[in-house]
Amino acid sequence: MTEGVIFDVKRYAIHDGPGIRTTVFFKGCPLNCQWCHNPESINPEPEQSLDYRDPFRLNPFSKDNSNLIGEEVSVEAVMEEILKDMIYYEESEGGVTFSGGEPLAQIDFLESLLERCQEEEIHTALDTSGLAPEESIDRIIDLVDLFLFDLKLVNEDSHKKYTGTGNKTILENFQLLRERNPEIELRFPLIPGITDTKENVQGIKKLIRKRSGLSRISILPFHDVEKKYSNLGRDFDLAGVEPPKEKDIRDISDEFEKMGIKVEVGG
């Protein structure tokens, strides 16, 4: 039986795609973005946190309630949790969102979950960094109803500097997806001094000039998550950075809107 490591399941997720959704958070990510709002998602293994109280409770009767973030679980255990909110998906045309971490990093597990969702006729969204082998994308492209694709930095060097890896594969996968034409929603983290530069915004605009298949852009403004890092015993590189100003957010959304793309702030 396929198993995977996930660190949370959130019900009534209302910012991760259409309708009322359940978001499943995969643990493990090939990127290491300095601003990552879910630092617990990066390490693929279960890990200790200072204040963690198992919010997942896939197995509410487990005697072991350590402060461990992340749990190895079966496809069926996750499905059981997903299916609980079926009535809400139906009412709202919602569904399930696989997020992380990078779901594509656990491709077998992800594929099984997507297949099960298709069987149950549940709408699926995949929140991805785009960093995965082409073959992985091939395997799931027809099982995903909506891609939430993160585009962060267009410049390869900056990308390497702030996320720990280059963006060549990501951009290739982005183009690949566009050619195959599934529904895509772009997610753009707005990090002051890093992604909000004029060059980067222009670069992103250039990338998406052909807007077919792009349903919208979600701008995700930075906020301080230092506490999350300190609970994991890590330093937050962007500690003290102020969230972007309302006006800056508005200016950038206006730029995208002028291209005829629907913009949402806050995802």
Residue 181 Cβ vs other proteins, minimum distance, rounded to whole Å: 25
Residue 87 Cβ vs other proteins, minimum distance, rounded to whole Å: 5
Q: Does 262 bind other proteins (CB under 8 A)?
A: no
Q: Does 266 bind other proteins (CB under 8 A)?
A: yes
How, if at all, do strands 68-69 and 71-74 pair?
unpaired
DSSP-assigned letters across all residues of 167-204: SHHHHHHHHHHHHH---EEEEEEE-TTTT-SHHHHHHH
Query: Which C-beta is closer to other proteins: that of 48 or that of 65?
Result: 65
Q: Does 247 bind other proteins (CB under 8 A)?
A: no
> What's at 191, amino acid-wise?
I
C-alpha closest to that of 256 among 206, 195, 222: 206
Cβ count near 242 (within 10 Å): 10
Q: Which residues pair with 187 in a beta bridge?
A: 150, 218
Which region, judged by CB under 8 A, interacts with other proteins, from 11-19, 133-141, 156-164, 177-185? 11-19
In angstroms, what CA-CA distances link 238 with 15, 26, 42, 229, 243?
Answer: 24, 24, 16, 11, 11
Residue 15 Cβ vs other proteins, minimum distance, rounded to whole Å: 7
Q: Does 146 bind other proteins (CB under 8 A)?
A: no
Q: How many residues bind other proteins (CB under 8 A)?
A: 40
Residues forming contacts to other proteins in the complex (CB under 8 A) are 10-16, 19-20, 23, 25, 37-38, 53, 55, 57, 60-61, 63, 65, 84-85, 87-88, 90-92, 94, 99, 187, 189, 220, 223-225, 228, 243, 264, 266-267
